[in-house]
Amino acid sequence: MMSPSATIPRQCMRESVTPDPCRRSACLIYNPVAGQGDAEADLWLIRSFLDPVFDLDIRLTTPEVGANALARAAMERGAQLVIASGGDGTLSAAAEALVGTGIPFGVISRGTANAFANALGLPLTLELACEAIIDGATRAVDVATCNGLPMVLLAGIGFEAEAVARTSREAKNWFGTLAYVWSGLQQLGEMQSFQVAIETPDLRIQTTATAITIANAAPPTSVLAQGCGACVFDDGLLDITVVAPNSAMEALAAAFDLFSSAVRAAALDRPDVGHLLAPWVRVVTDPPQAVAIDGEVVARTPLEVVCVPGGLRVIVPVDDLLEPRLAVEYLDLESAAEVELLAE
């Protein structure tokens, strides 16, 4: 596996020749320490697909220079598309730099959970991901801002944020997705409730919760985001799920039911799980809670999340453009919370 400070072997470097005007310029942002595979072999495979098609500029992430900075630099150099290969952190960081630019974003997922690719229905194998990028079909997907920070997937408050904080890089390298599961099980024993006030354009809600998830896009494995049953990433709305179990056993049952609701694409009907859709949401908690944005704990409540409809152009398999959009209904929270309907 390449070290973070490794340089690309000379054979992998793009030759210093005049670019072919018939080929589009593309920047490949590559995280050499992502996932559990052979990073050098993966890079060779990716290049075997992309080099014949694109005028390819390869840039490695390092501890000092992340995917966000590399994506911005690629745009300044005039790249016509940006491709990122790595884990969810790398993909989200690169995507954040492209929000609102209209530059197509290609995804080659090589991470632990691969939540980014799963949430957007993108290919998970290197070969299929490269083929999709070569075909070049793009789809506008929503993004969001979270206290001013870009958010592509979701923000987790309370339980999920604490579980993310417990999961070390070493655990992810050794156990993959199971590392998150284990951290979550450990967190169950220390689960604590907090008071929360939630405001949307239509409602003000005061209730007690142990976890709140505000999702723009989320795979079924992000169980705490599945109250609405189908997290649609291009509907201009945030999916807000509030979980308030009374015990660890109830929390496990709620998690199982949430996952089942995602698989069935049907809203969950439990008295300890509330769900609603909104274009923006403000959340205030007592006491303040940690917030994990796209898998990284980078904020605390109070929190304001605003959807940015169609803010990112993602390269998808051509067949995806032919699939019908999911229909989503507006769902109120359960009556256990104090809800105030706002005047129109």
Q: Is residue 176 scored above 50 in pLDDT?
A: no
> pLDDT for 252-291, tens place per residue?
444 544 444 444 444 545 556 778 889 999 999 999 998 9
Domains of the chain: 24-136 (3.40.50.10330), 151-309+329-341 (2.60.200.40)
> pLDDT for 163-175, tens place per residue?
554 444 444 444 3
Q: Is residue 183 scored above 80 in pLDDT?
A: no
* Predicted local confidence at residue 208, as pLDDT: 84
Specify which of 30-44, 109-123, 239-253 reaches the highest per-range mean pLDDT. Answer: 30-44
* Predicted local confidence at residue 88, as pLDDT: 86
H or E stretch covering 257 = helix 248-264
From the DSSP assignment, how many helices (H) and strands (E) are in the chain?
A: 9, 17
Give the pLDDT band (50/70/90) at residue 318: confident
* Predicted local confidence at residue 269, as pLDDT: 53
Mean pLDDT of the chain: 76
Give the pLDDT band (50/70/90) at residue 248: very low
CA gap 181, 236 in Å, rounded? 30
For 100-117, b where at least 16 C-beta lie within 10 A, e where not — what string?
Answer: eeebbbbbbbbbbbbbbb
* Predicted local confidence at residue 245, as pLDDT: 54
- The percent of residues in the chain predicted with pLDDT above 90, rounded, is 40
CA gap 161, 216 in Å, rounded? 16
